[in-house]
Amino acid sequence: MPRHVVTLATLAFAFLALQSANGQPATSAKHPVPESPLWLTYSGENGPGKGKHIVFIAADQEYRSEFALPMLAKMLARHHGFDCTVLFSVNKDNEVDPTMKIRWEDKTVTHNIPGLEYLDKADLVILFSRLISLPDNQLQHIYKYLDSGKPIIGIRTANHGFLGFDYKKDGKRIDFGEHVLGGSFRNHHGRWQQDSTRGIIVEENKNHPVLKGVKDIWGLTDVYRTYKEGGSLPADCTPLVNGQPLMGRKQDDAINPKLIPLPVAWVKTWTGNLGKTARVFHTTMGSGEDFQNAGLRRLTVNAAYWCLQIEKQIDPGSNVEIVGKYEPLRSGFDYARLRVVPRKPSFYK
């Protein structure tokens, strides 16, 4: 081989080695979760999240988490560098099936979320479930995660995300919404599927890292009440955004003067049985349609950074644009009218 060819090859090898030494591998690191027809994986590109792995769990029947979470995963991988995995609740045919009943409607129902064992490889979990009943072997993976000290983001119905949840701390049964996320669904504060919500930054906490660059939050979901009338968020919660019910379904609609704003986004910490403390972010907004709003997307992206304790790298002007086409179906239970049918996970890729 001519000497100049050898020299070029040597230089190329040295360049690749230097890249690796600087923490920028020349080829993408292997995704922590193998590809499967049962879930979706997105490898992180360049960004502050490089080397971090986020697991999303889409398992609700009303607010189209099966559309919202793949969109967020794709965005966080492409623009921010996170490896992302989206797990789904699937039916007996391994289809994502929001039409499955819950145990309040059919006591024989047991839901199935393949891949929960990969919570062991997660640095952050983003949960969007609603009243699901899992077999004990799958619940054990969630219980283990709650003891891990690793962070959690809960979206909308996650605060009433489970039935038959039997995690205990100090011998007492824990309510996931109340104790882990900071508040369970108690009622609709306003008119279900008639109001919309304007997000209002909480003035005294406006400098919190999760709020960097966040503005113009609005969504079609109504405000949840998560504590009794006359009460407040638990003392360990820091409110970030209050939700003002509007009189209609447009962003510039008038406020409802009869309904005060209530918290729709906050942060807190959670400590499991092993004494390890995790950061927690919860928003009660977040339907598939809500996430068409850039303010809510930025809030959620910032929350992921904060939860992972890389909040110093939050850029108020970072890219939160949707990657590719995003056309979520409308919220609700009228599945035939809304065209909600079981689909393979690959449909949402």
Contacts of 249 (CB under 8 A, 6+ apart): 194, 195, 196, 220
Has residue 135 been placed in a domain? yes
Question: pLDDT value at position 20?
Answer: 38
Average pLDDT over residues 70-92: 98
**Confidence label for 208 from pLDDT (cuts 50, 70 and 90):** very high
Report angle CA 183, 82, 314 to the nearest 5 degrees: 70
14-18, 66-70, 282-286, 314-318: least confident range: 14-18
- Of 25-39, 159-173, 302-316, the poorest mean pLDDT is in 25-39
Phi, psi of 275 (to 5 degrees): 80, 10
Distance CA 114, CA 92 (A): 11
Long-range residue pairs from 8-17, CB within 8 A, at least 24 positions apart, any chain = none
Whether residue 179 is contained in a domain is answered as: yes
Q: Answer yes or no: is 18 within a domain.
A: no
Q: Does residue 176 lie within any of the structural domains? A: yes
Within a domain: 318: yes
Query: pTM of the predicted model, to two decimals?
Result: 0.91
Q: Is residue 79 part of a domain?
A: yes
Question: Alpha carbon of 141 to those of 173, 185, 215, 325: distances in Å?
Answer: 17, 24, 36, 33
Tokens encoding 115 = 């891949």
Residue 39 within a domain: yes
Provide the number of structural domains found in the chain. 1
Residue 198 falls within a domain, yes or no?
no
Q: What is the CATH number of the domain that holds 59?
A: 3.40.50
Sheet of 218-219, strand order: 40-42, 83-88, 53-59, 124-129, 152-155, 277-283, 262-271, 238-245, 197-201, 218-219
Beta partners for residue 187, in sequence order:
225
Share of the chain above pLDDT 70, in %: 92
Whether residue 2 is predicted with pLDDT greater than 90 in this model: the reply is no
222 touches 241 (CB < 8 A): no
Structure-token pair, residue 264:
């729709």
